[in-house]
């Protein structure tokens, strides 16, 4: 016979799922921000190199 009352661990499972999705989203966002920062830095350095090369000529 089934137990009476609410199901066991459903609240904990729901909370865990919510927290894990938050963590996954946060990690994805941090990785994307790091990529964007690096792209901007590389672009800036490349522009400086172009300016130096045009000044030397």
Planar angle of CA 30, 15, 22, nearest 5 degrees: 10
Question: Which residues lie below 8 Å from residue 41, measured CB to CB, with a gap of 6+?
Answer: none
pLDDT number for residue 26: 98
What pTM, to 2 d.p., does this model score? 0.65
Tens digit of each residue's pLDDT (9 = 90 or more) over 6-53: 777 788 888 999 999 999 999 999 999 999 999 999 999 999 999 998
Distance CA 19, CA 17 (A): 5
pLDDT of res. 25: 98
pLDDT at 1: 62
């Amino acid at each position: 016979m089934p137990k009476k009352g609410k199901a066991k661990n459903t609240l904990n499972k729901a909370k865990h799922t919510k927290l894990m999705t938050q963590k996954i989203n946060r990690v994805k966002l941090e990785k994307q921000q790091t990529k964007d920062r690096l792209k901007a830095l590389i672009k800036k350095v490349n522009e400086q190199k172009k300016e130096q090369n045009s000044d030397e000529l």
